[in-house]
Amino acid sequence: MFKLKLTQQIVLAIILPLLFEAAFLVTAIKNLGDLSNYIEQQEKSAKLMTLITLVFQETNLAGGSLMLFKMTKDKRHMLAAQSIANDLMEHTKQLKDEADKMPHKSQTIDSFLDIIDEIRETSMSIAGIAADSFEVSEKRFASKFMNMNKRIEIAGKDLLTDQTTRQETLKKAEAQAREQLQQTISIMTVMNILLAAGVAVWITLIFSRKWNVLIENTLNLGMGKPLLKPIGGQDEIGKLDTAFHTIAQELELAREKERALVDRTVQVICSLDQSGKISQINPAVRRRFGYEPEQVLGTNLVSLIHPEDRDLVHEKLSTKRLSAEEVVFECRLRDADGHFKSTEWTTSWSAKDKTFFCVVVDITERVAAENLKKDMLAMISHDLRTPISSIKLVLECAGQGVYGSLSDRGITTMKNAQQSSDYLINMINDLLDVENFEAGGLVLDFETHPVSSIIHIATDMIEPSAQKKHIALNVETEKFDVRADGERLNRTLVNLLGNAVKFAPANSTITLSAKPSPDGKWAEFGIRDEGPGIPPEKIDLVFEKYRQVGTRSEGEKKGSGLGLAICKALVEAHGGTIGVRNVQPKGCEFWLHIPINGPQTQVGN
């Protein structure tokens, strides 16, 4: 039975009591039928005995009335005999009918019935004789009645004795039937109780136990605890429990892989409780900070943070509880030797577990490199740009003859030196602007400018370089104003035009366009050349610092790789966007969109 499915077991648990109840009902109906049959036979026997008694009485009364008539010749006795004879005929007829209905007639009944037939005939004769025509032989008539009385008395006594015996037998059978019915009811009641108890125990031991095990396994699976032993069986509960054990094994395997991954990662991964105490941490803390994992478990994080950074850490962690997003912050963390290292924390708060999950990266070397870069930029800004500017001033004075006249060769050399100094100063300015923008220190001076004026200045600055390659500058602009930093916007256009002149072939055309967007919110600029274009796989790299996308076959151009990077920085500082696309049949187009009314408009693509 335990190999049956759950639904089959439930159906079986329902059908078995029903079958038992059906058997009980059939047995009870049979016993009740037997009892009813015995009662019915007793009633028939009692009726039969009543009729026999009536026949006795009416026979005696009829005979007595005839004797009185014989002695007194009183017609009233003859009329009484006729009335009794009519009743006697009716009762003898009923007696015969009842006797015929008996399933098993005894010999006494047959003898009595024969006498009944004679009594009925005699009664008919008496009933049909008038008092005034009674000419029957008195002796013969009296002798006949006396004979019938004796015979019916004998047969009646025998029949009464037989019926009395039969009544006693039927009463005993009735009593036995009643007792049997009571026993059946008692036995069935006890059996019902036992069956109900058995089904209850079966359900408790089989279903309830299985369900309890399944529920406990569900809770254990959710809490990561070991599951109870498998239930077994081929029913639905057993299969579901088997599936739970399979899932638990897969989850445990996944946890082991996850633990192995966390333990082997080079970054420190830890979790903090609500109070900021370290509840879990991986072995990477040993490599990064010299602590054994057991040393820091239960330690409040604040005690390991540099005193100057504790308020920041407390604020970040407190804010994180109110946000579903990750929080990234930097702070200094003390290592096992007592030295403070720069770290970057990425934290996420689990409201369900009431736990902070953190990834800690040692950025000491990166911070040192950034500080070195800041120092280098400061050195370039103050210690390098100033001397170069002085050299440029001296060269300009020399070129103007302040220090005396120069030969043609000297003038040419002087111009080359001025161009080199201009190149160095521009490169330093680009580098400082890019770094300032990335550091959030690039400040723009916004004013309203006619776009045509900015474009005119940019084309005038790039015209000499274009003429050297016989490149035509085609300007397509509409008349409108823009609120921007004019100098920085001009510098962006000059860089893009210079880049186009650098890569465009001789005797080609460069088109500079400017127009407002259809909704009037954006100023849209475009610089299109007829050069070789940009390889599709390098389009995403053109705005990176120190990156040039030209190939040797195309003739890589000399440059610092900062021109397009500073263009991107300046456009984004205006709240705009910049991009590039190849155009047909050849060449590429750089485009930029900046808000017409300044950066209060959100940047759009």
What's the number of CA atoms in the CB half-sphere (13 Å) around residue 25?
6
- Last residue of a domain, which of 415, 438, 461? 438
CA distance 123 to 58: 10
One domain for residues 495 and 431: no
- Last residue of a domain, which of 344, 362, 380? 362
One domain for residues 319 and 387: no
- Last residue of a domain, which of 320, 336, 362? 362
Identify the residue with better confidence: 257 or 335: 335
Most confident segment among 50-54, 115-119, 164-168, 456-460: 456-460
Residue for token pair 């040192």: 368
- Whether 242 is in a domain gets the answer no
Identify the residue with better confidence: 64 or 269: 269
**What average pLDDT does this structure show over 70-86?**
77
* Residue 553 pLDDT class (50, 70, 90 cuts): very low
One domain for residues 104 and 139: yes
In this structure, the number of other CB atoms found within 10 A of the CB of residue 479 comes to 10
One domain for residues 195 and 55: yes
User: Looking at residue 527, what is its pLDDT?
Assistant: 95
User: Looking at residue 31, what is its pLDDT?
Assistant: 75
- Whether 83 is in a domain gets the answer yes
* Residue 145 pLDDT class (50, 70, 90 cuts): low
Q: What sign does the CA torsion over 547, 549, 551, 556 have?
A: negative
- Whether 252 is in a domain gets the answer no
Helices 486-503 + 563-573 axis angle, to 10: 150
Whether residue 242 is predicted with pLDDT greater than 70 in this model: the reply is yes
**Phi first, then psi: what are they for 545, rounded to 5°?**
-65, 145
CA distance 333 to 597: 46
72-76, 355-359, 455-459 — which is least confidently predicted? 72-76
* Residue 456 pLDDT class (50, 70, 90 cuts): very high
- Whether 31 is in a domain gets the answer yes
CA distance 467 to 444: 32
* Residue 580 pLDDT class (50, 70, 90 cuts): very high
- Whether 238 is in a domain gets the answer no
**What average pLDDT does this structure show over 554-579?**
77
In CATH, what number is assigned to the domain containing residue 273? 3.30.450.20
One domain for residues 80 and 181: yes
User: Looking at residue 1, what is its pLDDT?
Assistant: 42
One domain for residues 513 and 489: yes
Residue 504 belongs to what domain range?
A: 447-595
**What average pLDDT does this structure show over 21-25?**
78
In this structure, the number of other CB atoms found within 10 A of the CB of residue 354 comes to 10
The total number of structural domains in the chain stands at 4
Six token digits for residue 93? 């007829």
298 sits in the region (left: phi over 0; alpha: psi -120 to 50; else beta) called: left
One domain for residues 394 and 353: no
CA distance 198 to 62: 73
DSSP state of 584: S
One domain for residues 482 and 342: no
Mean model confidence pLDDT for the chain? 78
Whether residue 333 is predicted with pLDDT greater than 80 in this model: the reply is yes
Q: Amino acid identity of 3?
A: K
Six token digits for residue 65? 């009335």
User: Looking at residue 350, what is its pLDDT?
Assistant: 85
User: Looking at residue 325, what is its pLDDT?
Assistant: 76
pTM of the full structure: 0.43
Going by C-alpha positions, the residue among 319, 363, 356 that lies closest to residue 341 is: 363
One domain for residues 170 and 298: no
pLDDT digit string, tens, across residues 388-433: 778 878 777 877 777 777 777 877 787 778 777 776 777 777 777 7
User: Looking at residue 342, what is its pLDDT?
Assistant: 92
CA distance 153 to 139: 21
Whether residue 71 is predicted with pLDDT greater than 60 in this model: the reply is yes
* Residue 541 pLDDT class (50, 70, 90 cuts): confident
- What does the DSSP assignment read for 281-322? E-THHHHHH---HHHHTT-BGGGGB-GGGHHHHHHHHHHHTT
In CATH, what number is assigned to the domain containing residue 493? 3.30.565.10
DSSP state of 104: S
One domain for residues 479 and 344: no
- Whether 299 is in a domain gets the answer yes
**Phi first, then psi: what are they for 514, rounded to 5°?**
-150, 130
- Whether 605 is in a domain gets the answer no
* Residue 146 pLDDT class (50, 70, 90 cuts): low
3-state class percentages of the chain: helix first, strand second, coil last, to nearest 5: 65, 15, 25
Whether residue 455 is predicted with pLDDT greater than 90 in this model: the reply is yes
Per the CB < 8 A criterion, the answer to whether 501 and 466 are in contact is yes
One domain for residues 377 and 466: no
Going by C-alpha positions, the residue among 103, 117, 196 that lies closest to residue 151 is: 117
- Alpha helix ranges (H) inside 439-527: 451-468, 486-503
- Whether 601 is in a domain gets the answer no
Six token digits for residue 79? 């009329």
Q: Amino acid identity of 562?
A: L
* Residue 275 pLDDT class (50, 70, 90 cuts): confident
CA distance 462 to 474: 12
DSSP state of 226: P
Six token digits for residue 255? 């946890």
Whether residue 551 is predicted with pLDDT greater than 60 in this model: the reply is no
pLDDT digit string, tens, across residues 472-511: 999 999 999 999 999 889 989 998 998 899 889 999 999 9
User: Looking at residue 382, what is its pLDDT?
Assistant: 65
One domain for residues 129 and 145: yes
Per the CB < 8 A criterion, the answer to whether 384 and 428 are in contact is yes
Those residues with Cβ within 8 angstroms of residue 536's Cβ, 6 or more apart along the chain or in another chain: 582
Query: What percent of the chain is modeled with pLDDT above 90?
Result: 18
Identify the residue with better confidence: 260 or 395: 395
